[in-house]
């Protein structure tokens, strides 16, 4: 609840340097939480946020790359940052490619960033949260899953679709007040759309019932609701934040 007065809670935000990731970090900081902010190469926005965080923001540089290295890369998380109350996975990459030109490597590359890290962190942190009797996990998926991806983004949508498959253990976690949900994020004003030079974002917005794209802070508000004390009874759900798509 907004009036929670217990010990300061900690959230681990994966992909925190993205526009949505930064908005999520800000929302948790505004809510009085401490934030562990993961980034790969872009730390400029996080450094600006660091100056205003009053010591409640820690930056973690883990370069998610080839899937075979992930277990080793996440050793730091397991050994030094295993104690957190919430996990929010915002990491995303999109390399445009038509389905007819799709190859296995493209699928693996998208999975290695968009899904595998979230899977392993959910495995480790979810169990740890359950052992302490409280936790929240929010994955950021994509509304593109609903449509099989766009004309150039099947591999991206496939990797985000995997975030909608919750482990059977999540039912046991729920008994220990660990709630897990996935948000299907609609078209949002972020730089990820710049990767597809053929995409007309204004035309795409015209296809949305609300006739506009989302702003990062709007996604962050929904993450905050599902991934904080405000959420007391929602788990195992796929929730679209997409302006009606």
Neighbours of 155 (CB within 10 A): 26
In a domain, 2, yes or no: no
In a domain, 3, yes or no: no
In a domain, 222, yes or no: yes
In a domain, 165, yes or no: yes
pLDDT at position 4 is: 58
**Is the CB of residue 29 less than 8 Å from the CB of residue 56?**
yes
In a domain, 16, yes or no: yes
- Structure-token pair, residue 46: 């996080």
pLDDT at position 1 is: 41
User: Where residue 165 sits, what CATH number does that domain have?
Assistant: 3.40.50.720
pLDDT at position 142 is: 96
State the Cα–Cα distance between residues 16 and 39, nearest whole angstrom: 6
Domain total of the chain = 1
State the Cα–Cα distance between residues 107 and 159, nearest whole angstrom: 8
- Structure-token pair, residue 162: 């995997």
Domain that holds residue 190: 10-241
Indicate whether this model's pTM tops 0.85: yes
Measure the CA angle with vertex 74, ends 63 and 19; round to 5°.
45
In a domain, 4, yes or no: no
Q: What is the mean pLDDT of each run of 10 residues along the chain (245 residues)?
A: 69 95 97 93 89 89 74 70 88 93 94 93 92 97 93 94 96 96 93 60 86 95 98 98 94
In a domain, 84, yes or no: yes
State the Cα–Cα distance between residues 183 and 139, nearest whole angstrom: 6
**What separation in angstroms does the CA of 9 have from each of 71, 81, 122?**
26, 13, 18
In a domain, 190, yes or no: yes
């Amino acid at each position: 609840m907004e009036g929670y007065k217990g010990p300061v809670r900690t959230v681990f935000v994966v992909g925190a340097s993205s526009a949505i990731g930064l908005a999520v970090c800000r929302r948790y900081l505004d809510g009085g939480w401490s934030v562990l902010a993961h980034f790969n190469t872009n730390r400029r926005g996080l450094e600006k946020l660091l100056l205003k965080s009053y010591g409640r923001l820690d930056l973690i540089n883990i370069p998610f790359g080839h899937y075979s290295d992930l277990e080793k890369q996440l050793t730091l998380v397991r050994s030094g940052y295993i104690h957190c109350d919430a996990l929010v996975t915002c990491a995303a990459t999109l390399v445009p490619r038509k389905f007819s030109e799709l190859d296995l490597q493209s699928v693996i590359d998208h999975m290695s960033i968009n899904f595998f890290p979230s899977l392993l962190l959910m495995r480790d942190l979810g169990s740890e949260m359950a052992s302490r009797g409280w936790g929240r996990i929010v994955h950021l998926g994509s509304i593109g899953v609903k449509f099989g991806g766009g004309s150039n983004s099947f591999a991206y949508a496939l990797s985000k679709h995997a975030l909608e498959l919750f482990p059977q253990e999540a039912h046991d976690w729920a008994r220990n007040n660990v709630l897990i949900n996935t948000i299907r994020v609609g078209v949002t004003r972020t730089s990820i759309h710049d990767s597809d030079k053929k995409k007309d974002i204004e035309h795409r917005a015209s296809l949305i019932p609300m006739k506009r794209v989302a702003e990062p802070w709007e996604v962050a508000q929904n993450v905050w609701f599902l991934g904080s004390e405000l959420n007391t009874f929602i788990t195992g759900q796929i929730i679209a934040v997409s302006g009606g798509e």
